[in-house]
């Protein structure tokens, strides 16, 4: 008992010294000021942590006091009912002060709780209390210091140079150091709290402590994610400038990685800044391509006989399509770029919702989130100066004005903008690829790589390529139903039903949606029946008198037509692919149904469902039927859900 009290006294002195070194009123209550500012909430969400509003009170301070309440109660359990009630009562009062955002009063009450614990027979558990608190308060201090400094989100755009202010990288580097420090403090607190015997607490209190630990983990993961992403940005911004190919994929006209590439650009990253060097029509460089190369067979049906950068995004795996785009860029312009950045109109719509409208008087329009897609499509495809022949100059004029609007945003708007961009990145509307393996790994870890991922279980990705030239895909409604039956021997059979409806109303010239559909399933899956595909042939990716691309030759070589079902069966990105045509007139609905046996066997079932990059959300239903009782299921998927990003499912039977 004496040793425990001595250790507690030492830790108490350490905590007091730490607090005394920071007497700033930032620890005092401030009227009408939330305990967590939008800045802190943003970094909590950046790591894709979707905290509820009730958890938004404080990821650090509130989580800290919840944990301390748990420590206090555990201590009270060892010293009798009366001590437990007294400590619990003071803890509840302290929590109420905290919820009322009276941080100073909460700290006073916590001191009283600590005094009660110190006089109890608490053993080693009490020794952790001050040190846990010290680490959490230190993390809170670091983030409050971050709040007082120039924000890393304060990205200023120089319209004259068409580049960002070089100070952005310096501010980001300073912020990253603080995020790493704060994450380290929280990690130490987690380690100290890790052995807390929650099972000794009453159920409600145990839940509160578990919730507090969850908040700490969420805060740490968010800060680590922020540090990781900022590290990637700093790697891109540091050193000598590198060129990245910027592609604008119009997802109104679906292609494998997003949409038709109508506009491209070159962006320079380095020396601490971002600089746009060029944005123009894709037909400018494509017109300089001297080599005649046969287009992918499905594109030859109606779109084009010859391949160029505008159609380079043929492969479902974004890194594979990016390499092909970089290859065409070099052939057409001589530019050796270091990577690819891809954007769809969804990114600009998300941007304009936060920044507000952007005026473009020379075009007679004011762009908003509501009219951007339709206006940009019109100005770049129909209504343009045919004498100057610059159909895509509209986006070149828009981009610097949109970036210049950053200078007028307040901190809350900048945070909202980055949160919005994080959301469209999750939905694969914003993608990136780098030839540098280290940067590419960071990109993939951040979830913006667009790669076709490998999984040992079941897999499904439905990839659409619009080869009819019409801008109809944002009006396409899709629902997917997948039923998997597992028999007594563990054989797994998938029944897949894909229903599509053409609800597009704005396409005047090519209203029919002509879709080449690829369905990626586990390698080795055997198809047994199929219905619904149009009875169209598949042309080869070769033509007499023109060059053949070796990657397309390999893609063609893997394709065979299944004689029983008429479905084309190939291989891509390490998966078996079922392929076919589906053309839909306006208002028309069609359904494709496939039955195929999966290569995996047994009572365990997992599914990785990958959403096509740039595509709209769709309805998905999964039904797994087993011969025995289901003992585990993740998540609950009894009803259809809306899929706007990748999903994972798991079912385990006895």
Looking up tokens 């580097």, which residue turns up? 173
CB atoms within 10 A of CB 404: 16
The alpha carbon dihedral of 449, 454, 459, 465 has a sign of positive
Which domains can be identified in the chain, with CATH numbers? 2-154+164-234 (no CATH), 242-445 (3.40.630), 458-653 (no CATH)
Q: Is it the case that residue 436 has pLDDT exceeding 50?
A: yes
Q: Which of 471, 479, 518 is nearest to 612 (CA)?
A: 518
Q: Is 296 in contact with 406 (CB distance < 8 Å)?
A: no
Residue of higher predicted confidence among 293 and 210: 293
Cis-peptide, bond into residue 635, ω within 30° of zero: yes
- Residues 398, 376: contact at Cβ < 8 Å? yes
Closest to 412 (Cα-Cα) out of 81, 66, 68, 154: 154
- For 201-222, what is each residue's pLDDT tens digit? 556 656 666 666 666 677 777 7
Q: CA quadruple 9, 10, 13, 15: dihedral positive or negative?
A: negative
> Of 125 and 134, which is predicted with more confidence?
134
Q: Would you tell me the crossing angle of helices 103-118 and 61-77 to the nearest 10 degrees?
A: 20
Q: For residues 489 and 446, what is the distance between their CA atoms, to the nearest angstrom?
A: 40
SS3 of residue 244 by DSSP: strand
Q: How many CB atoms lie within 10 A of CB 377?
A: 20
Cβ count within 10 A of residue 640: 14
pLDDT tens-digit profile of 95-115? 455 445 454 565 565 555 555
Q: With a cut of 60, say whether residue 126 has pLDDT above it.
A: no
Worst-scoring range by mean pLDDT, 42-51, 107-116, 416-425? 42-51
Task: Please list, in sequence order, all residues whose beta carbon lies within 8 angstroms of the beta carbon of residue 115, skipping any fewer than 6 positions away.
Answer: none
CA angle 190/193/198 to nearest 5° reads: 130
Question: Residue 172, SS3?
Answer: helix
Count of other CB atoms within 10 angstroms of residue 157:
20
* pLDDT tens-place string over residues 53-90: 333 333 344 444 444 444 444 444 444 444 444 444 55
Handedness of CA 83, 86, 89, 94 (dihedral sign): negative
**Torsion angle, alpha carbons of 383, 387, 390, 394, to 10:** -40
Q: Report whether 467 contacts 302 (CB < 8 A).
A: yes
What tens digit of pLDDT does each residue of 276-289 get? 999 999 999 999 99
Residue 41 has pLDDT above 50, yes or no: no
pLDDT band at 458 (very low <50, low <70, confident <90, very high): very high
Could you count the other beta carbons within 10 Å of the beta carbon of residue 80? Answer: 12
Q: How far apart are CA 241 and CA 266, in angstroms?
A: 12
Residue ranges of E strands in 370-475: 430-434, 458-466
């Amino acid at each position: 008992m004496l040793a425990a009290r001595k250790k507690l006294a030492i830790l108490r002195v350490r905590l007091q010294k730490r607090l005394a070194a920071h007497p700033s009123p930032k620890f005092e209550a401030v009227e009408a000021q939330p305990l967590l500012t939008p800045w802190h909430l943003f970094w909590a969400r950046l790591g894709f942590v979707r905290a509820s509003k009730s958890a938004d009170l404080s990821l650090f301070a509130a989580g800290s006091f919840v944990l301390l309440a748990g420590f206090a109660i555990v201590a009270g359990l060892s010293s009798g009912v009366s001590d437990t009630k007294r400590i619990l009562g003071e803890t509840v009062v302290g929590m109420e002060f905290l919820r009322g955002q009276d941080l100073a009063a909460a700290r006073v009450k916590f001191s009283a709780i600590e005094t009660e614990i110190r006089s109890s027979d608490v053993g080693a558990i009490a020794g952790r209390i001050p040190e846990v608190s010290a680490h959490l308060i230190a993390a809170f201090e670091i983030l409050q210091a971050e709040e007082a400094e120039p924000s890393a989100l304060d990205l200023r755009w120089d319209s004259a140079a068409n580049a960002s202010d070089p100070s952005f990288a310096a501010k980001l580097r300073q912020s990253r150091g603080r995020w790493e420090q704060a994450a380290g403090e929280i990690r130490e607190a987690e380690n100290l709290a890790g052995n807390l015997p929650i099972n000794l607490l009453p159920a409600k209190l145990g839940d509160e402590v578990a919730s507090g630990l969850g908040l700490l983990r969420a805060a740490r993961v968010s800060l680590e994610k922020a540090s990781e992403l900022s590290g990637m940005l700093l790697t891109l911004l540091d050193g000598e400038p590198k060129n990245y190919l910027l592609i604008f994929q119009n997802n109104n006209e679906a292609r494998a990685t997003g949409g038709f590439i109508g506009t491209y650009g070159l962006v320079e990253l380095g020396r601490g800044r971002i600089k746009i060097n060029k944005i123009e029509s894709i037909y400018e460089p494509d017109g300089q391509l001297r080599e005649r190369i046969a287009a992918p067979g499905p594109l030859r049906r109606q779109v084009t006989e010859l391949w160029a950068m505008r159609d380079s995004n043929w492969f479902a795996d974004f890194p594979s399509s990016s390499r092909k785009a970089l290859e065409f860029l070099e052939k057409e312009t001589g530019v050796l770029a270091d990577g690819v950045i891809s954007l769809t109109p969804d990114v600009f719509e998300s941007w304009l919702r936060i920044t507000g409208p952007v005026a473009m008087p020379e075009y007679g329009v004011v762009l908003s989130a509501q009219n951007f897609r339709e206006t940009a499509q019109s100005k770049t495809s129909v209504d343009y100066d045919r004498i100057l022949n610059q159909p895509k100059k509209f986006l070149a004029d828009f981009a610097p004005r949109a970036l210049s609007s950053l200078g007028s945003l307040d901190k809350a708007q900048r945070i909202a903008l980055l949160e919005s961009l994080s959301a469209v990145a999750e939905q694969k509307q914003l993608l990136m690829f780098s030839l540098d393996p280290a940067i590419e790994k960071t990109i993939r870890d951040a979830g913006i790589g667009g790669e076709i991922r490998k999984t040992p279980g079941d897999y499904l990705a439905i990839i659409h390529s619009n080869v009819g030239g019409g801008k109809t895909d944002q009006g396409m409604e899709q629902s997917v139903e997948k039923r998997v039956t597992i028999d007594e021997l563990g054989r797994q059979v998938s029944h897949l039903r894909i229903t599509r409806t053409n609800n597009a109303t704005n396409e005047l010239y090519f209203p029919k949606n002509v879709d080449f559909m690829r369905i990626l399933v586990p390698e080795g899956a055997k198809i047994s029946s199929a219905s619904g595909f149009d009875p169209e042939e598949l042309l080869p990716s070769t033509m007499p008198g023109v060059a053949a691309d070796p990657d397309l030759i390999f893609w063609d070589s893997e394709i065979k037509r299944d004689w029983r079902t008429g479905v084309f069966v190939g291989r891509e990105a390490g998966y078996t692919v079922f392929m076919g045509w589906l053309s839909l007139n306006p208002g028309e609905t069609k359904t494709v149904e496939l039955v195929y046996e999966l290569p995996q066997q047994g009572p365990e079932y997992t599914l990785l469902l990958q959403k096509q990059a740039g595509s709209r959300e769709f309805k998905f239903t999964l039904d797994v039927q087993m011969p025995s009782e289901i003992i585990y299921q993740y998540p609950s998927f009894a009803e259809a859900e809306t899929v706007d990003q990748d999903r994972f499912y798991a079912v385990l039977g006895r």
